Amino acid sequence: MSTDATTDPGPGITGDVAAADQRRDRLIRRVLFGCTSITVLTTIAIFVVLLDNTWGFFFDATFSQWLVRSVTSLTVEGLTQRIAVTEFLFDTEWRPSHADDPRFGIMTLVSATVLITVGAAFVSIPIGTAAALYLSEYASVRTRKYLKPTLEVLAGVPTIVYGFFAVSFVTPVLLRPVLELFGLSIGRNNVLSAMVVVGIMTIPMVASISEDAMRAVPDDLRNGAYALGASKYEVSTSVVLPASISGIFASYILAVSRAIGETMAVTLAAGATPTLTANPLAEVQTMTAYMVTTMRSTAGVGSITYQSLFAVGLVLFLMTLVANLINDYIKRRYREVYR
Amino acid sequence: MATGENEPLISTAVTSRETERSARADETILEARGLDVHYGEDRALREVTAEIPERKVTAIIGPSGCGKSTFLRSINRMNDQIEVCRVEGDLLFRGKNVYDDDVDPVALRRKIGQVFQKPNPFPKSIRDNVTYGLRVQGKSATDDDVERALRGAALWSEVEGKLDSSGLDLSGGQQQRLCIARAIAPDPEVVLMDEPTSALDPVAASKIEDLIAELAREYTVVIVTHNMQQAARISDETMVFLTGGELVEFDDTATIFENPANQAVEDYITGKFG
């Protein structure tokens, strides 16, 4: 029988059916690979378009236009610089539609985005982490079963609703009366209300992802600590938190990256007046808010205002990219230590 | 295997400690009185009544699912961590029912340490693992405390120079001894062990067995094991649980293994049951 087996492996191992099986497996693999490629290619395409058009913001033609012109004319075509990179990076004014003296100092928009992101982080990180600890360590199985999905619903509320909530409730009902007690006044649009709503908006993200990370800590570790006479709080802070820190940090970074890219809520809440300020009561314009308002205006394709959208978009893209890279780094860095 | 009337079923090492034991009157440190434990609808322990002597090694043996681990966990109230668990009856630690309302389970566990089946060192340095129990009690831990606990767990010579490296870098057997060091560092009165050698290779397991005999000089050791030879080798007293969470027999290890009163226990020990 063993000699038979070497010469004739028997039915099913070779033949038409087996070949068809192999073909099907290859096909499935290609389809799946294709779907994965779409996301990667889209990312690359977006990046290329942003770069190309950002070139068209600094010069009088986009990089591709210039390239096509140079190739067709077989000479290196000259370029006129419209905006100096130093102005873009260091000017303190952002007034693209000023008739006599338009200025494009991205700092103004970046500072508004950063200000709101930092303020939002002060809301979402402590509250989100505490909520995650409660759900993971303190809540009963039953409570968690109902509470966690409810919390995640908060993440599904459309962001424009948060913007509306900021303008119609947070500013007039919550902030204004309190600030008036201190003799401060606050306009309809302000940084503070944007911080509050973006913070609330990102709590579920911090809470949900952190809770997943905390739940992934093996019960063996908890039991080890409980058996040594640790209280629930001590188990939470000295065992669960350090062991899940990489996932917790990841949730923070994701929340920050979400806050950076947040658009509708901040447009409604913080306003459309570019201001370089650290005053949380002022009206500002974030990068995203600038893009929304400008897209709705009638700036012609190729105009400097139109091209500025891509320059701002590129900066935004890079900021979230850096956040994601930090996220990856933290995940890799801490996984080794705690697993 | 055929065994004669007076030959031991499994030889025991109890005789060597026999003299020492008789010189000291047995003091009961833990006592169960009609202890029932339920997990939801399931009854895991049934009317368990037993007196566990101080500074002895008491082994708990029995087939899987017989309630031996449940009994162990009910001593330091680790069952509290299981939501569906319900305990009835009394479990006295030095005469005090640990299930009384005024007993703080956190404080109780500082008196009754536990070592688990799977080594579970914290992802922290060896030093931090050992001092964890002291620190949660708000006590500062000196280098002497660390050395004493690690010596007590027969691990000192192997980790002396690397106290600040991670406990997870140790081998499985070393990790388990680290867990023992961690359990004895706060100087508890009782050390509970839940199959502490079942995840270890034979060499590492035998080191732990030697260590358990040492531990019994200072601590009361209650050890769950599914290894009957191990129970015979290291314990002074043996509790036998059989299916249904009933404590069937509790006696000197020598008696249990050489001349058990209960036929079911004899069947279990000789391998006819379980």
To the nearest whole angstrom, how far is the Cα of B188 from the nearest Cα of chain A?
Answer: 9
- Bridge partners for B239 per DSSP: B60, B250
A80 within domain boundaries: no
The per-residue pLDDT for A154 is 85
DSSP letters, chain B, are ----SSS-SS--STHHHHHHHHHSPPPEEEEEEEEEEEETTEEEEEEEEEEEETTSEEEEE-STTSSHHHHHHHHTTGGGGSTTEEEEEEEEETTEETTSTT--HHHHHHHEEEE-SS----SSBHHHHHHHHHHHTT----HHHHHHHHHHTT-HHHHTT-TTSBGGGS-HHHHHHHHHHHHHTT--SEEEEESTTTTS-HHHHHHHHHHHHHHTTTSEEEEE-S-HHHHHHH-SEEEEEETTTEEEEEEEHHHHHHS-SSHHHHHHHTTS--
Two tokens, residue A276: 């370089």
Q: Does any CB of chain A come closer than 8 Å to the CB of residue B114?
A: yes
Residue A305: both structure tokens together: 């205002």
- In angstroms, the CA B27 to CA A58 distance is 89
CA angle (B74 as vertex; B71, B79 as ends), nearest 5? 115
My answer on whether A55 and A190 are in the same domain is no
- Whether residue A237 lies within 8 A of chain B, CB to CB, comes out as no
Give the CATH number, domain containing residue A297. 1.10.3720.10
For residue A314, tell me if it sits in a domain.
Answer: yes
**Which residue stretches of chain B have pLDDT < 50?**
1-5, 13-25
Domain hosting A296: range is 86-338
Give the distance from residue B157's alpha carbon to the nearest chain A alpha carbon, in angstroms: 24
Residues A36 and A178 in one domain: no
Distances (CA, A) of B156 to A150, B161, B175, B193: 51, 9, 12, 21
Tell me, yes or no, whether A119 and A10 share the same domain. no
Q: Which domains does chain B show, CATH number per domain? A: 15-269 (3.40.50.300)
Indicate whether A78 belongs to any domain: no
d(CA B211, CA A66): 80
- Is residue A67 located within the same domain as residue A123? no
Question: Is the Cα dihedral A21, A27, A29, A32 positive or negative?
Answer: negative
Residues of A in contact with B108 (CB under 8 A): 229
Q: How far is B192 from chain A (nearest CA, A)?
A: 10
Are A142 and A273 contained in the same domain?
Answer: yes
For residue A174, give the DSSP letter: I
Q: Does A220 touch chain B (CB under 8 A)?
A: yes
Helix/strand/coil for A11: strand
User: What would the two tokens of residue A226 be?
Assistant: 């409980």
Picking from A27, A50, A73, the residue at the C-terminal end of a domain is A73
Beta bridge partners of B237: B58, B252
Based on the domain organization, do A51 and A109 belong to the same domain? no
Q: Is B138 on the interface with A (CB under 8 A)?
A: no
Q: Please tell me the distance from the alpha carbon of residue A241 to that of residue A230, in angstroms, as a whole number.
A: 14
| Contact status of A143 with chain B (Cβ, < 8 Å) | no
Burial class (CB in 10 A: 0-12, 13-18, 19+), A300: exposed
- Give just the sign of the alpha carbon dihedral B223, B225, B231, B233: negative
**Regions in chain A scoring below 70 on pLDDT:** 1-12, 335-339
**Residues A96 and A162 grouped into a single domain:** yes
Domains in chain A, number:
2
Burial class (CB in 10 A: 0-12, 13-18, 19+), B217: exposed
Asked if B122 lies within 8 A of A230 by C-beta distance, the reply is no
Three-class SS of residue A197? Answer: helix
Per-residue pLDDT of A172-228, as tens digits, reads 999 999 999 999 999 999 999 999 999 999 999 999 999 999 999 999 999 999 999
In this structure, the answer to whether residues A256 and A176 fall within a common structural domain is yes
> Which candidate in A228, A238, A239 is best for mutational testing of the B interface (most B CBs within 10 A)?
A228
Q: In the numeric block, which tokens belong to residue A227?
A: 């058996």
Instruction: Decide if B183 and A234 are in contact by the 8 Å CB cutoff.
Output: no
Q: Of A73, A99, A120, at which residue does a domain stop?
A: A73
A97 and A32 within one domain:
no
pLDDT confidence of residue A7 = 55
Kindly list the residues from chain B whose CB atom is less than 8 angstroms away from the CB atom of residue A223: 78, 81, 114, 116, 120
Residue of A nearest to B181 (CA): A228
Strands B57-61 and B220-224, bridge-based pairing: parallel
Q: Which of residues 240-269 of A touch B (CB under 8 A)?
A: 242-243
- Measured in angstroms, the CA of A209 and the nearest CA of chain B are apart by 21
Among chain B residues, CA nearest to A139: B83
Beta bridge partners of A76: none
> Chain A partners of B135 at a C-beta cutoff of 8 Å?
238
Give every CB contact of residue A267 below 8 A, 6+ residues apart in sequence.
Answer: A163, A286, A288, A289, A292, A293
CA distance A114 to B163: 43
Token pair 């236009």 is found at A65
Q: How many residues does chain A have?
A: 339
Q: How many CA atoms lie within 13 A of A191 on its CB side?
A: 24
Residue keyed to tokens 């094991």: B225
pLDDT at res. B12: 55
**Domain termination residue (choose one: A45, A73, A101):** A73
Residue A299 DSSP symbol: P
Q: Whose CA is closest to A240, among A123, A132, A327?
A: A132
Clarify whether residues A49 and A161 are in a common domain. no
- Residue A81: DSSP 8-state: B
Interface test with A, best of B130, B132, B176 (most A CBs within 10 A): B132
* pLDDT of res. B18: 43
User: Rounded to the nearest 5°, which phi and psi values hold at B227?
Assistant: -105, 105
Do A22 and A97 share a structural domain?
no
Kindly provide the ipTM of the predicted complex, given to two decimals: 0.86
**Distance from C-alpha of A249 to C-alpha of A330, rounded to nearest angstrom:** 7
The answer to whether residues A123 and A38 belong to one domain is: no
8-state DSSP, A79: -
Q: What angle do CA B49, B54, B55 make, to 5 degrees?
A: 135
What residues of chain A lie within 8 A of the CB of B179, using their CB? 224
pLDDT confidence of residue A335: 63
